Amino acid sequence: MDVFKNMLHELAVGRENPDGADQGFLASYFPDLLDQPMFHPPANGTKLWGTYRLPLGYQMDASYYYLKLRWSIPCGPNSVITFPSAPWFKPWYWWSWPVLPLGLSWHEQRRENLGYSSEIPLVLIQAVLYIGVIAVTRLARPSLSKMCYNRRMEKNTMFLLSLLRIVAAWSILAAYTIPFFIIPRTVHPLLGWPLYLLGSFSLSSIVINIFFLHPITVLTTWFGFIGALVVMAFPWYLNGVVRALAVFAYAFCCAPLIWASLVKTMSSLQVLIERDAFRLGEPNQNAEFTKLY
């Protein structure tokens, strides 16, 4: 503990650091560490005094695991695992798993020590809100469809079509992005991903009912997310290379389907204008026909 407090003091006073990071600070604080003997736990449990170097198994880099999806070097109960990944893919973010398989191990440690009492109420509130949106959207479908109905637009059909395409595209994009940003970032992945899928499904249902779109075309991306999660979370890959190839193959096969669904959605908007549900030209036609009599 004295060494730790002294290290904090050296950080506060600005100890000379070769690289300005944690590794440079440790190298300057322990300049003769490489000359120290390797630490091995004594068989009789006696205490050791002095400075020792810890074997590799006591501090493991997560990249060692990702290569073979297992630990090639045994990790003991006192091991420390570091995650030198991109800042937005640290294991405490719910979306980092199953992209990084060790995320669940990190969250298991948090569950045992800190828990998720601060995030659970927000998760429950959002889940109830999304379920309510699905129910209300289903019941209010006739009223929602009238939002797209404007009988004065019959002379501007092309403008209406372009406007509907833009609004529909942005609405679909919002349905898949809004839930991502409002979910508590540090919630458990097994809570975060179901909540995200529920939120994107509920917002997509609004788009489907407003624009009379086919559910499959709008939800193709939603099913694609589920498939990607299954492919990445599959636990029986031989190694990390096989896993990466499987994810790439899935993305290669799924991308044309998502593009086709987007094209189908845009083309269905033209049918939306022309079909009888909107009757864009009928009011004026009936009025002119009535004047003849």
| Per-residue pLDDT reduced to its tens digit, 9-44 | 888 887 777 776 777 888 888 888 888 888 888 888
Q: Contact at 8 Å (CB) between 90 and 124?
A: no
Q: According to the model, what pLDDT value does residue 183 have?
A: 94
For range 184-200, the mean pLDDT: 95
Q: According to the model, what pLDDT value does residue 159 have?
A: 64
Question: Can you tell me whether residue 59 is helix, strand or coil?
Answer: strand
Where residue 58 falls among pLDDT bands split at 50, 70, 90? Answer: confident
Where residue 200 falls among pLDDT bands split at 50, 70, 90? Answer: very high
Q: Measure the N-to-C terminal CA separation of the chain; round to a whole number of Å.
A: 100
Going from the C-alpha of 184 to that of each of 26, 191, 204, 222, 225, the distances in angstroms are 34, 10, 21, 20, 19
Tokens representing residue 159 in the block: 């403008």
Q: What are phi and psi of 240, to 5 degrees?
A: -65, -30
Q: Contact at 8 Å (CB) between 244 and 231?
A: no
Q: Where are the domains of the chain?
A: 1-53, 122-284
Residue 72 has pLDDT above 80, yes or no: no
Q: What are the pLDDT digits (tens) for 103-158?
A: 888 898 888 888 898 899 999 999 999 999 998 888 876 665 555 554 444 545 66
- Tell me the C-alpha distance between 280 and 17, whole Å: 72
As separate numbers, helices (DSSP H) first and strands (DSSP E) second, the chain gives 11, 2
Angle formed at CA 85 by CA 80 and CA 87, multiple of 5 degrees: 110
